[in-house]
């Protein structure tokens, strides 16, 4: 049908865009317009953009009460949104029905250390593998769940383009934990 053809073309457009972003970030050709960005505000907007997907999977998001200083990042606003969108989309795709996503942040000298962890279902291998281009944790679910295995590779490349770091580990909640160490912005009101 025309609708399914339209969806496939849209999917290919996203795939080409993702490949371009990944290539630009990895080659250092990506231009970043860095400024102070309030992580808590970006998280709220990202949650709103993904509200339907989160609701469909019965996922809940928790955010720790944070001081303004622990949320101010020096980042490109659009690329920060892209990172958050990829993380949330990944959670929607792979977390079990009814899972919890938990965001937290704290300051560490001149950096903000922030994280997203979830309550499942977890990952048996080395979580750092998830950042590899085209890596899929469960290849049998590729067609059912969609995605091209580029989202977390883009997260890592864009994070590194910001001279920041991201690591993946097993979460005490039973799932995965992504931890970022990001240059801190300057909120003059703090």
pTM, 2 dp: 0.84
Q: Is 182 helix (H, G, I), strand (E, B) or coil?
A: strand
| In the predicted structure, residue 108 carries a pLDDT above the cut 50 | yes
Residue found by looking up tokens 């979580």 in the block? 127
Q: How many angstroms separate the Cα of 104 from the Cα of each of 1, 18, 52, 99, 115?
A: 44, 27, 23, 17, 5
The enclosing H or E element of 155 equals helix 151-161
**What structural domains and CATH numbers belong to the chain?**
2-183 (3.30.565.10)
Residue found by looking up tokens 């960005």 in the block? 37
Closest by alpha carbon to 39, among 61, 21, 63, 22?
63
Average pLDDT, the chain: 83
| In the predicted structure, residue 189 carries a pLDDT above the cut 60 | no
β-bridge partners, 103:
63, 116
Q: How many angstroms separate the Cα of 119 from the Cα of each of 59, 102, 126, 166, 179?
A: 10, 9, 17, 19, 15
Highest mean pLDDT among 4-18, 33-47, 113-127: 33-47
Q: What is the pLDDT of residues 39-91, one digit of tens each?
A: 999 999 999 999 999 999 999 999 876 677 778 899 999 999 999 999 999 99
Please indicate whether residue 13 or residue 31 has the higher confidence score (pLDDT): 31
Q: What is the pLDDT of residues 116-143, one digit of tens each?
A: 999 978 778 888 888 887 666 654 334 4
* Percent of the chain whose pLDDT exceeds 70: 83
Contact 64, 104 (CB under 8 A): yes
Long-range residue pairs from 14-18, CB within 8 A, at least 24 positions apart, any chain? 15/148, 15/150, 18/148, 18/150, 18/151, 18/154
* Percent of the chain whose pLDDT exceeds 90: 48
Highest mean pLDDT among 18-32, 55-69, 171-185: 171-185
């Amino acid at each position: 049908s025309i609708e399914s053809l339209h969806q496939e073309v849209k999917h290919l457009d996203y795939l080409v865009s993702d490949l371009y972003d990944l290539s630009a970030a990895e080659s250092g050709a990506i231009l970043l317009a860095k400024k102070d960005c309030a992580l808590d505000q970006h998280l709220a907007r990202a949650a709103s953009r993904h509200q339907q997907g989160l609701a469909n999977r019965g996922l809940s998001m928790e955010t720790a009460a944070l001081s303004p200083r622990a949320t101010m990042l020096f980042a490109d606003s659009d690329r920060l949104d892209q990172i958050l969108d990829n993380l949330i989309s990944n959670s929607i795709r792979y977390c079990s029905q009814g899972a919890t996503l938990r965001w937290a942040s704290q300051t560490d000298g001149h950096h903000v250390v922030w994280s997203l962890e979830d309550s499942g279902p977890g990952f048996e291998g080395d979580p750092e593998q998830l950042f590899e281009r085209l890596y899929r944790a469960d290849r049998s679910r590729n067609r059912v769940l969609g995605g091209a295995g580029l989202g977390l590779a883009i997260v890592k490349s864009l994070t590194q383009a910001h001279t920041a770091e991201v690591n993946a580990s097993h979460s005490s909640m039973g799932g995965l934990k992504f931890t970022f160490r990001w240059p801190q912005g300057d909120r003059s009101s703090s």
